[in-house]
Amino acid sequence: MVTAAAVFLGTLSAVWRAVRMPPAEAMRPEPPANYRETLLERLGVRRYLDQPTRMIVRHLERQPVKSALSVMGIAFAVGIVMIGRFSQDSITYVIDFHFGVAAREDMTVTFVQPTSHEALFSLHSLPGVLYAEPFRTVPVELRTGHRSFRTAIQGFTAEPRLHRALDADGESIRMPDEGIVLTDFLGRMLGVESGDLVEIQVLEGTRPQLWVPVAGLVHEYFGANGYMSLNGLNRLLGEGSAISGAYLAVDPAERDALFRALEDMPRIASVSRRELAIQNFEQTMGDVAGVLDLVITLLAGIIAFGVVYNSARIALAERAWELASMRVLGYSKGEVAYILLGELMLLTVLAILPGF
């Protein structure tokens, strides 16, 4: 719409000027432009500029609006590339934040079904396990009125060392003894605030239907989970000291052997390794970011090419007689091209900094 409006107004302006011009005046050639010393020349820079360069500066200063619009167009193209590259920094930050600060475990072990807390001692006894930290994951459907959302409630110990639930500021989310903590995104989806009641439909086991108060809302970079203390979640479900799995800190020398041993244990559903999770995450997000970068770069290139090409066509149309006269006066093709291309080069250089 903006492009169509610009084309329409530009065409209408040109046609209107042509229609209003008397026929006798239209038959006469256009008078030469009234050139004068530029601001740079009056500041004493003139002696450092040759004649073609002074012609470039004078032409740009004589048409400041056109020059400013050309600089702005090229700067927007540069800005599009800068904004597009921001996605790469975002991905790097998310990886560093999640796997470097929040999820510091070497391996994550998930059981086939909720198991007694005593299974943690079996994991502790395996060669290579330095520390094991339990967790509980319960698939649920959260409801408030006509709104519902399927997610999982994560239950963590009071003071986790390996895997911590953190808000966007890097602060550990305090697990309340009673109630549930929701992400702010999930709170908006359900339309609840701190102190409201939310209905929980458990999607495993006997599938109980429960009502739990919202203890608070936290801001996270991604995910839509609910959080409770491990003891509070088990107490709510009436399951004693059940756990869904454990986060492990592992001796690097024993990592491969431990991984094979865990895969052979019958009650373990899956074992994920931290380095493989990071690799898969980087590959998946890298493919998406690569396509996005390609599209943004092509878009920015098209915009920059359109602005520069349009400026070149206008400059050539405005200065065709002037450039031809210079050739007659003995200027070489290179010197004449320098006047035309140097103007475009100067506009591009001036556009880079505001584009950044």
pLDDT tens-place string over residues 276-290? 888 888 788 777 777
Between 26 and 80, whose confidence is greater? 80
Pairwise CA distance, residues 100 & 166, whole Å: 12
Mean pLDDT of the region 159-174: 79
C-alpha to C-alpha distance for 128 and 12, rounded to whole angstroms: 78
Would you place residue 33 in the very low, low, confident or very high pLDDT band (cuts 50, 70, 90)? low
Q: What is the Cα–Cα distance from 146 to 190, expressed in whole angstroms?
A: 9
In percent, how much of the chain has pLDDT > 90? 22
For residue 82, name the pLDDT band (cuts at 50, 70, 90).
Answer: confident
Q: Which residue has the higher pLDDT, 150 or 293?
A: 150
Least confident of 54-58, 165-169, 245-249, 329-333: 165-169
pLDDT in tens, 90-139: 778 888 887 888 888 999 999 998 888 888 888 988 999 999 999 999 99
**Residue 16: both structure tokens together:** 């209107």
Better-scored residue on pLDDT, 48 or 58: 58
Map tokens 């319960």 to a residue. Answer: 138
Residue that wins the pLDDT comparison between 284 and 40: 284
Q: Are strands 180-183 and 209-218 parallel, antiparallel or unpaired?
A: parallel
Q: How far is CA 320 from CA 9, 15, 307, 323, in A?
A: 25, 22, 20, 5
- Stronger pLDDT, 198 or 84, i.e. the higher one: 198
Place of tokens 């927007």: 76
- The pLDDT-based confidence of 200 (bands split at 50, 70, 90) is very high
Q: Is the pLDDT of residue 330 over 80?
A: yes
Spatial distance between the Cα atoms of 32 and 62, rounded to a whole number of angstroms: 13
Specify the higher pLDDT residue, 42 or 346: 346
Q: Report the chain's mean pLDDT, rounded to a whole number.
A: 85
pLDDT at 354 over 80: yes
**pTM given for the model:** 0.64
Name the residue with higher pLDDT: 81 or 40. Answer: 81
Q: Is the pLDDT of residue 304 over 80?
A: yes
pLDDT recorded at residue 71: 92
How large is the average pLDDT for residues 351-356? 91
Residue 336 has a pLDDT of 86
**CA angle (329, 333, 335) in 5-degree steps:** 80
- State residue 251 phi and psi, 5-degree precision: -70, 125
What pLDDT, on a 0 to 100 scale, did the predictor assign at position 46? 67
